[in-house]
Structure 1
């Protein structure tokens, strides 16, 4: 049942990467608060299925966030639902493996989808957010704060989106637009489940402190993020303890370096490192879409 007391009730929200995982959970949460939800991403059939499950007005639009023209076309369709006052840049992909032997095209695609795609999303929908004095939520990661080995593209991209969101916030605050950053740890999505199939990535997570390797349900994370949008927060953390990493983030690279020097040779000796390729069904869908337009 819709939460009619929510400030999001009757407002239009755009969620990118909404076909599954956190994006689909966010769409459900916004809709439960009485909002009109536009789902954007690859896989029209999956987007339609999510949209059909929502209680309120919805629209699903297939578009690649790295294609500005496709995003502009999508924005024109979405405005029929109502001019967006919330935009969530959630679309993202990941791949794992050693940088030196990584495929340059795959590595660059992670940067393009996560970082350039987020910037494209903001570029296209900023006029709507200015008109509605709206809120832009950038989905970042613990990887924005502390980079990890064998995930160089993802860490670079998530550090980039954090910096982008900080810069954007300073540019648009005087126009009444607020910008939030969501710092997230492990979430129960197909991307994380796929990563766990690879021994070295699974082992690296196992060496994190118990609290840091806990996996959260996507619906729980989505509820926290939507509450932050209602309050127009500049930062939201899931789990909440992640905020404690901010004051000590300068100390994290040396800690990761010491752990990597000790553990990576042992892991490599046990099983040769392998490249994962795009992780999860979302990563595979992005690769298929990129091939179809090549």
Structure 2
């Protein structure tokens, strides 16, 4: 077992232990999940793409080179995930790799963020990861497989105006660490992937978010770089291949681990300075879901919860 700090290598479909095995990726309709599904398919893995957006999932699955299926499922729905697990086992075989990637984010002051939206971020990112593990762990135990939890540098230092997202990413890190000790006797390995700035639609409006903009502007030049989903998927695929305990994307993040106690006060100082310069109206303007994937999930959730009023946000 080792840590992967982003070798950038692309394992081929020939001579890899992944060929012919089954991978399940949640949040696979777009962004990192879609890119990772392509990378794992290129190694010869059969891939099950799980997500909320049926048509986008089908388009992503159509681009894969190995056998695949797409399953529309909400990770907060345990019954739907159990059904998805049965479908994967019946159509592709038991999962050897499970990637808990599904996630959404919302920005804005906690006091002004709708309670249902704040709860939804926690439910999708944290509870959804636990639900995903619960449904597929029996298959991973049979295959002595690998579970990869997608976390974030948001777990290193919590940013004001992003309370639900930061809490959820700190939570999934702790969840994966606890789970690792429980499932190792069954031959199941658990990895945690720490992602930094990645060019998905979740950060497309980063310059409009005062705290995130300030954090990025005050980072060293190499830390401000936004990496493409394909580059991040390469690092994640290398982690999957090596059953890594930790995957760092980009590689230099591994050197941040010993410095983590320093990050919360630094983030708080920068955030305090930026927030003082904003009016109450400007703070209220920043409330909302980030990214097209998050908006699709929130609209679907809102429509189901309030069928007469339609989507909110």
Do Structure 1 and Structure 2 share a fold, with TM-score over 0.5? yes
The alignment of Structure 1 onto Structure 2 pairs a total of residues equal to 293
For the residue of structure 1 that corresponds to 2:25, the secondary structure is strand
Matches within 5 A, 1:203-214: 203-214=214-225
How many angstroms apart in 1 are the aligned matches of 2:298 and 2:227?
A: 27
Per the alignment, residue 173 of structure 1 pairs with 184
Runs of at least 5 residues in structure 2 that lack an aligned partner in the other structure: 1-10, 306-313
How many angstroms apart in 1 are the aligned matches of 2:120 and 2:127?
A: 10
Per the alignment, residue 309 of structure 2 pairs with none
2:82 matches 1:68: no
Matches within 5 A, 1:70-149: 70-79=80-89, 80-149=91-160
How many angstroms apart in 1 are the aligned matches of 2:65 and 2:12?
A: 8
- Shift, 1:198, TM fit: 3.7
- Shift, 1:61, TM fit: 0.3
**Higher relative contact order, chain-length normalized (CA < 8 Å, sep 6+):** 2
Q: Report the aligned-residue RMSD.
A: 1.6
When structure 1 is superposed on structure 2, of 206-215 and 173-182 the one drifting more is 206-215
- From 223, 235, 238, the counterpart of 1:227: 238
TM-score normalised by structure 2 residue count:
0.90
- Shift, 1:195, TM fit: 3.6
TM-score normalised by structure 1 residue count:
0.96
- Shift, 1:271, TM fit: 7.2
- From 33, 42, 54, the counterpart of 1:32: 42
When structure 1 is superposed on structure 2, of 199-208 and 67-76 the one drifting more is 199-208
Per the alignment, residue 287 of structure 1 pairs with 298
- From 251, 269, 276, the counterpart of 1:265: 276
Per the alignment, residue 308 of structure 2 pairs with none
Deviations 1:150-198 (A, max 9, x none): 1110000000000000000000001000000000001010111134444
How many angstroms apart in 2 are the aligned matches of 1:204 and 1:146?
A: 11
- From 14, 20, 23, the counterpart of 1:10: 20
When structure 1 is superposed on structure 2, of 254-263 and 187-196 the one drifting more is 254-263
Per the alignment, residue 157 of structure 1 pairs with 168
Runs of at least 5 residues in structure 1 that lack an aligned partner in the other structure: none
